[in-house]
Chains A and B, each alone.
Chain A
């Protein structure tokens, strides 16, 4: 496979059809599909969720808010209900960014609107699932998330496909607005299949004293995924963290990372990635742009090559002012023999030691995340590992 991204012909995907009936009870979802969704972090029982949004292909099949102060709607309904929401559409993301944003602007199939009202705190995460079911379909969604002043909102988005889907395109436009003093965590778990092309386009605007934690996990095959989610820190004292865990098997091409503009005093940002290739191609990017004195930013990029794959780490630090502090740490390689042998001296075989180290490598403690959500992430990684290693 070429080292460059393959040209994706958006025209060859189908934009019509892909309609499915509404489902009241998630247990009515066929077992196979449920299984795929669970692997993407979706809780079918909904017990530990403050709301659920599920979209299959071009249909909203389930949408429910389970906690006061929060709101989960499909974007079309939300736009009908709230005149002011139009101001937020395409405010952060420029529709002319590339062919995918243009496509999503031209033909759009729902997407979610999730909001926490001022001061509200989500007891459990809100979950959203974007699911591809029909062959060769293009699913173009537009999502808007607003964490209003002083609120705390946690979202898990699981993206997946039905088991034997051989081709599909997912374009996701996402605009996140984290208002003054709010805290938003957004955890995205991808569980695609070998023939799927994925192009998320996300921009976040973080106001003063607000926090944004973005977690991205992909452990399973995907044909091609490319994204460079970006955050603009427009208020002082914001905190932004990007954590990514990327695993690519043979045939997968993932080009992902995070970019943060630190624009006001006292802002802090951190981008951490752990990548493993077992044969696929990973481009792990990170770009921190410090624009004012006193900001602090750190980038950490670690990669393990366990097969014939490629890991291309591209950490970038861009200081545009005096008196700022930016650092990065990047390492790509294999597992240190010393570590394997240390564990062997404790009784493990070489293979067992390797898998313990790999699991540890992927085991990132994410600062600022509620323990319950950390548990969800650990669970997703464990499930993924089982499928994989």
Chain B
């Protein structure tokens, strides 16, 4: 689904990511760990094609096509969707409007919103004055309307309260499985267990692992992928030894 080869990304002339190789196969969900400032957000922004994140080397392929130089909206149209860590506010554009932009039909908008308890925000300006948790739900809702094949989540659960975390966790799970919220009670076990969509989820806490079956985790350290492995094992490793271990891994790799 997504193949990244030897990617090097610069932000304002400074190298932020280097030697990134990453493959997310169809139907698989990958986790991305890494300390603050290690480049996780930058990697997702580069995959999405944001102009501040300049690919100076390597390439990004999606569904077999080289998308390294495609404009953002064409990547979106091909089926990449992203939930942002810090989305901009847009004055005068209502949540209702942006959901339609994302592809929701008039009569779907309210149903989608009620899934993540967001009905009362439909006539608010997008992200204007939203709390941290509200931003997460708004982002998720937009992805639900977009229904992409590759879902990029940038810390979807950070700062979310205990009650909402299961709401968000489950919504992400269903989104990854391509099951629309309304239908989930009726679908068969087989439908539930066969995933076509792929995911890449940035998390610090790993709470999302309680809701989503993740196949693999990568640790980003200082702009490089330090290691790869079972998500729970890596999470355990990080919580016991901290990211300090990654330095050793990186050194080993480079030897």
Residues on A facing B (Cβ under 8 Å): 336-339, 341-350, 353, 356-357, 359-364
In the complex, are the beta carbons of A361 and B92 less than 8 A apart? yes
15 other A-B residue contacts (CB within 8 Å) besides A348-B73, A356-B97, A363-B93: A339-B88, A339-B90, A342-B84, A345-B81, A346-B76, A346-B101, A346-B142, A347-B146, A349-B73, A350-B73, A359-B93, A360-B90, A361-B91, A363-B91, A363-B92
Asked whether A336 and B88 contact (CB < 8 A) given A341-B50, A341-B72, the answer is: yes
Alpha-carbon separation in the docked complex, A337 to B50 (Å): 10
Residues of chain A contacted by B48 (CB below 8 angstroms): 345
**Closest Cβ of chain B: how far from A243's Cβ, in Å?**
13
Give CA–CA (A344, B142) in the complex, Å.
13
* Docked complex Cα distance between A350 and B77 (Å): 13
The 4 closest A-B pairs by CB, nearest first: A360-B92, A363-B92, A360-B93, A344-B72
- A and B contact pairs by CB, cutoff 8 A, 12 listed: A341-B50, A343-B98, A343-B101, A345-B50, A345-B81, A346-B76, A346-B102, A347-B103, A348-B73, A359-B92, A360-B97, A363-B92
A344–B73 Cα gap in the complex (Å)? 5
Q: Which residues of A contact B76 (CB under 8 A)?
A: 344-347
Measured in the bound complex, the distance between the Cα atoms of B126 and A361 in whole Å is: 12
Given A337-B51, A347-B101, A360-B125, answer yes or no on A342-B90 (Cβ-Cβ < 8 Å).
yes
Q: Is the CB of B102 within 8 A of A341?
A: no
B64-98 CB contacts (< 8 Å) to partner A: 71-73, 75-77, 81-82, 84, 87-88, 90-93, 97-98
Q: Which residue of B lies closest to A362 (CB)?
A: B92
Q: Which of A345, A357, A360, A364 has the most CB of B within 10 A?
A: A345
Complex: A280 Cα to B23 Cα, angstroms: 51
CA A339 to CA B50, docked complex, whole Å: 11
B76: shortest Cβ distance to chain A, in Å? 5
Pair A357/B90 contact, Cβ less than 8 Å: yes
Contact residues in B for A338 (Cβ distance below 8 Å): 88
Residues in B neighbouring A336, C-beta threshold 8 A: 88
A357 touching B93 in the complex, CB below 8 Å, given contacts A338-B88, A339-B88, A341-B51: yes
Name the A residues within 8 Å of B97 (CB-CB): 356, 360
B71 touches A344 (CB 8 A): yes
Q: Could you say which residues of chain A place their CB within 8 Å of the CB of B71?
A: 344, 349-350
In the complex, the chain B residue whose C-beta lies closest to that of A353 is B73
Per the 8 Å Cβ criterion, residues 188-219 of B in contact with A are none
B contact residues around A349 at 8 Å (CB): 71, 73
Q: How far is the CA of A362 from the CA of B73 in the complex (A)?
A: 24
Cβ contacts under 8 Å, B77 to chain A = 347
A363 to B71: give the CA distance in the assembly, Å.
28
The residue of chain A having its C-beta at the shortest distance from the C-beta of B100 within the complex is: A346
The answer for the CA separation of A158 and B15 in the assembled complex, in Å, is 57
Q: Which of B51, B91, B146 contacts A346 (CB 8 A)?
A: B146
In the bound complex, residues from chain A placing their C-beta under 8 Å from that of B142 are 346
Q: In whole angstroms, how far apart are the Cα atoms of A388 and B146 in the complex?
A: 30
Residue of A whose beta carbon sits closest to that of B125: A360
Residue in A346, A362, A363 whose Cβ sees the most chain B Cβ within 10 Å: A346
Instruction: Please tell me if the beta carbons of A342 and B103 are within 8 angstroms of each other in the complex.
Output: no
Q: A344-B76, A346-B146 are in contact. Are A356 and B102 (CB under 8 A)?
A: no
Query: What residues of A have a CB within 8 angstroms of the CB of B87 in the complex?
Result: 342
A337-B125 Cα distance, complex, nearest whole Å: 18
Closest to A338 in B: B88
- The interface residues of chain B lying within 8 Å CB-to-CB of A345 are 48, 50, 72-73, 75-76, 81-82
Q: Pick the contact of B92: A348, A350, A364 (CB < 8 A).
A: A364
Bound CA–CA A349/B72 (angstroms): 8
CA distance A243 to B158 in the complex (A): 39
Chain A residues lying within 8 Å of B88, measured Cβ to Cβ, are 336, 338-339, 342
Chain A residues within 8 Å of B101, by CB: 343, 346-348, 356
Q: How far is the CB of A171 from chain B (nearest CB, A)?
A: 34
Residues of B within 8 A of A364 (CB): 92
Once A336-B88, A337-B51, A342-B88 are accepted as A-B contacts, the answer to whether A347 and B93 lie under 8 Å apart by CB is no
8 Å CB interface, B4-27 against A: none
Contacts of B84 in A (CB 8 A): 342
Q: How far is the CB of A248 from chain B (nearest CB, A)?
A: 19
Query: Which of chain A's residues has its CB closest to B84's CB?
Result: A342
Q: Can you name the residue of chain A whose Cβ is closest to the Cβ of B101?
A: A346
Q: Which B94-114 residues sit within 8 Å CB-CB of chain A?
A: 97-98, 101-103
Q: Which residue of A lies closest to B82 (CB)?
A: A345
Task: Give the residues in chain A near B75, CB-CB below 8 Å.
Answer: 345
Cβ proximity bits B37-51 to A, threshold 8 Å, 1 near / 0 not? 000000000001011
Contact residues in B for A359 (Cβ distance below 8 Å): 92-93
A342 to B48 Cα, complex, angstroms: 10
Q: What's the minimum C-beta distance from A358 to chain B, rounded to whole angstroms? A: 9
- Contact call B146/A360, Cβ cutoff below 8 A: no
- Residues in chain B near residue A348, CB distance under 8 A: 73, 101
A183 to B: closest C-beta gap in Å: 24
CA distance A110 to B146 in the complex (A): 57
Please name the residue on chain B nearest to A302 by beta carbon: B91
Tell me, in angstroms, the Cα distance from A383 to B87 when the chains sit together.
30
Least CB distance from B177 to A in Å reads 22
Residue of A nearest to B86 (CB): A338
Complexed CA–CA distance, A298 and B111 (Å): 38
Q: Contacts of A339 on B, CB cut-off 8 Å?
A: 88, 90
- B121-163, CB under 8 A of A: which get 1 and which 0? 0000100000000000000001000100000000000000000
- Are A356 and B93 closer than 8 Å at their CB atoms? yes
Q: How far is the CA of A338 from the CA of B45 in the complex (A)?
A: 11
Name the CB-closest residue of B to A365: B92
